[in-house]
Amino acid sequence: MKKKYIHYITFTILLFCAISCRATTGISVQYPPENAYVENELINMVLNVEKNIDKIRVVSSKNKPKEISVRPGSNKACFGITLNMGMNTVDLLGLDQGKVVDRKEMKIFFRSDLFPKFREAPAGFERYFFHFIENEKSCASCHDMEPTLSSLRPATPEESPCYSCHAKKREHTFAHYPLEKGICFSCHEVLQGNQKYIASKPDEKVCYTCHSSLIKEGKKKKIRHGPTGLGHCTLCHNPHGSEWPSLMRMHTTDLCTNCHEDKASGAHVIAGFFGKGHPVRGVKDPFNPDREFTCAGCHNPHAGDTKNLLNHDNSTMTSYCSVCHKM
Residue 14 lies inside a defined structural domain of this protein: no
Task: Identify whether residues 137 and 110 lie together within a single domain.
Answer: no
Domain, as residue range, for 52 = 24-128
CA-atom Rg of the chain in angstroms: 27
Residue 206 lies inside a defined structural domain of this protein: no
**Exposure of 148 by Cβ count < 10 A (0-12 exposed, 13-18 middle, 19+ buried)?**
exposed
Furthest-apart CA atoms within the chain: distance in Å: 109
Which of 93, 128, 163 finishes a domain? 128
Give yes or no for a contact between 41 and 110, defined as CB atoms under 8 angstroms apart: yes
- For residue 115, pLDDT over 50 is answered with yes
Residue 248 lies inside a defined structural domain of this protein: yes
Which of 70, 99, 128 finishes a domain? 128
Task: Identify whether residues 98 and 171 lie together within a single domain.
Answer: no
Task: Identify whether residues 33 and 112 lie together within a single domain.
Answer: yes
Task: Identify whether residues 122 and 192 lie together within a single domain.
Answer: no
- Give the confidence band of 23 by pLDDT, cuts at 50, 70, 90: very low
- Residue environment code for 264-297, b if the CB has 16+ CB neighbours within 10 A, otherwise e: beeeeebbeeeeeebebeeeeeeeeeeebbbbbb
In CATH, what number is assigned to the domain containing residue 70? 2.60.40.10
- In whole numbers, what is the pLDDT of the chain averaged over residues? 86
- Give the confidence band of 37 by pLDDT, cuts at 50, 70, 90: very high
Sequence-ordered list of residues with C-beta below 8 angstroms from that of 156, at least 6 positions apart, any chain? 182
Task: Identify whether residues 181 and 145 lie together within a single domain.
Answer: yes
- For residue 298, pLDDT over 50 is answered with yes
Residue 239 lies inside a defined structural domain of this protein: yes
Q: How many angstroms separate the CA atoms of 88 and 83, rounded?
A: 7
Q: What is the DSSP letter of 76?
A: E
**Exposure of 212 by Cβ count < 10 A (0-12 exposed, 13-18 middle, 19+ buried)?**
exposed
CB-CB neighbours of 206 under 10 Å: 21
- For residue 25, pLDDT over 60 is answered with no
Task: Identify whether residues 250 and 310 lie together within a single domain.
Answer: yes
Task: Identify whether residues 120 and 186 lie together within a single domain.
Answer: no
Ranges assigned E (strand) in the chain: 27-31, 36-38, 42-49, 55-60, 63-69, 76-82, 86-96, 99-110, 126-127, 174-175, 191-192, 195-196, 223-224, 241-242, 284-285, 288-292, 303-304
- For residue 10, pLDDT over 60 is answered with no
Q: What confidence score (pLDDT) does residue 98 get?
A: 93
Q: What confidence score (pLDDT) does residue 11 get?
A: 46
Residue 6 lies inside a defined structural domain of this protein: no
Sequence-ordered list of residues with C-beta below 8 angstroms from that of 285, at least 6 positions apart, any chain? 291, 292, 293, 294, 297
pTM (2 d.p.): 0.82
- Give the confidence band of 18 by pLDDT, cuts at 50, 70, 90: very low
Q: How many angstroms separate the CA atoms of 295 and 310, rounded?
A: 10
Residue 287 lies inside a defined structural domain of this protein: yes
Task: Identify whether residues 270 and 286 lie together within a single domain.
Answer: yes
Residue 208 lies inside a defined structural domain of this protein: no
Q: What confidence score (pLDDT) does residue 274 get?
A: 60
CB-CB neighbours of 176 under 10 Å: 19
Task: Identify whether residues 89 and 164 lie together within a single domain.
Answer: no
Q: What is the DSSP letter of 260?
A: -
Look at the alpha carbons of 120, 122, 125, 128 in this order and tell me if their dihedral is positive or negative. Answer: negative
Which of 75, 108, 128 finishes a domain? 128
Task: Identify whether residues 150 and 172 lie together within a single domain.
Answer: yes
Task: Identify whether residues 177 and 226 lie together within a single domain.
Answer: no
Report which residue type is found at 288. N
**Domains contained in the chain, number:** 3
% of the chain beyond a pLDDT of 70: 91
Task: Identify whether residues 316 and 229 lie together within a single domain.
Answer: yes
CB-CB neighbours of 311 under 10 Å: 16
Residue 178 lies inside a defined structural domain of this protein: yes
